[in-house]
Amino acid sequence: MLVSTKAIVISALKYGEADLIVKLYTLSDGLRTYMLRGVLKSKKGKFKASMFQALTKLEIVANHRNTGKLEYLKEARVEGAYASLHTNPVKSAMVMFLSEMLKNTIKEEEANPELFGFLEKSFEFLDHTSKMANFHLFFLLKLTRYLGFYPENRNSDFPVFNLLEGVFQEIPTNDYCIEGANADLLKLFLNADFFSLQEIRLNQSRRNEFLNMLLLYYELHIESFRKPKSLAVLNEIF
């Protein structure tokens, strides 16, 4: 079936000498994977490797056969080029981390317009902001809403958060219950928005501690979840 849709680049993997295997999150059909033949060597082809940098927004025309195999990309153009996401070295490190997280967590080959809208809005904000130190923490927490394990905030006055059940409670009931600084910080992020992130003051140690807690939360709720290889680089910067 021929479709015309918006898409966001999740990853691009070199295959052989000249080909790319590209994963795109599409507005019309969720996650799709495409083989681009000769794109790394051809100077006259309609596709350029630079179009498929992580998190780039595209307008594409593709033939989706829905067989579970690699799909065919007929046309693609960059839609709303970013101003700084791929040129600012600090933002580039965050882009690498976030794209790995998306690759490791989004598996559904079906439309989810709400998730697509969240991704689009998030990356546009990151492109334009200069206050980004807490962005990845907020993004990962809000992403869980679309992955099906967003924390239940009903009893947020309770001091303990159960990572296994995703709820606040009065006392610890298993080895995956947190309390103290990380639980308090979780409440702050649950009530934050993009524009209030800079008001949450954290040093590098606290930020990395909270990130490790979020990654454990992902690990508990996503089968075969793998921590991104770029985590070490991100921790060095933030």
The answer on pLDDT for 65 being more than 90 is no
Going from the N-terminus, what domains does the chain have, and what CATH number goes with each? 1-81 (2.40.50.140), 85-238 (1.20.1440)
Contact present, 6 and 58 (Cβ < 8 Å)? yes
Task: Look at residue 187 in the predicted model and tell me its pLDDT.
Answer: 96
The answer on pLDDT for 115 being more than 80 is yes
Confidence of residue 28 (pLDDT cuts 50, 70, 90): very high
Task: Look at residue 56 in the predicted model and tell me its pLDDT.
Answer: 98
The answer on pLDDT for 68 being more than 90 is no
pLDDT digits (tens, 9 = 90+) for 118-130: 999 999 999 999 9
Q: Residue range 34-59: average pLDDT?
A: 90
Task: Look at residue 225 in the predicted model and tell me its pLDDT.
Answer: 95
The answer on pLDDT for 14 being more than 90 is yes
Alpha helix (H) residue ranges in 148-198: 181-190
Gap between the Cα atoms of 134 and 40, Å rounded: 35
Task: Look at residue 235 in the predicted model and tell me its pLDDT.
Answer: 86
The pTM is what? 0.94
Q: At what angle do helices 181-190 and 204-221 cross, to 10 degrees?
A: 80
pLDDT digits (tens, 9 = 90+) for 147-206: 999 999 889 999 999 999 999 999 999 999 999 999 999 999 999 999 999 899 999 999
Task: Look at residue 183 in the predicted model and tell me its pLDDT.
Answer: 97
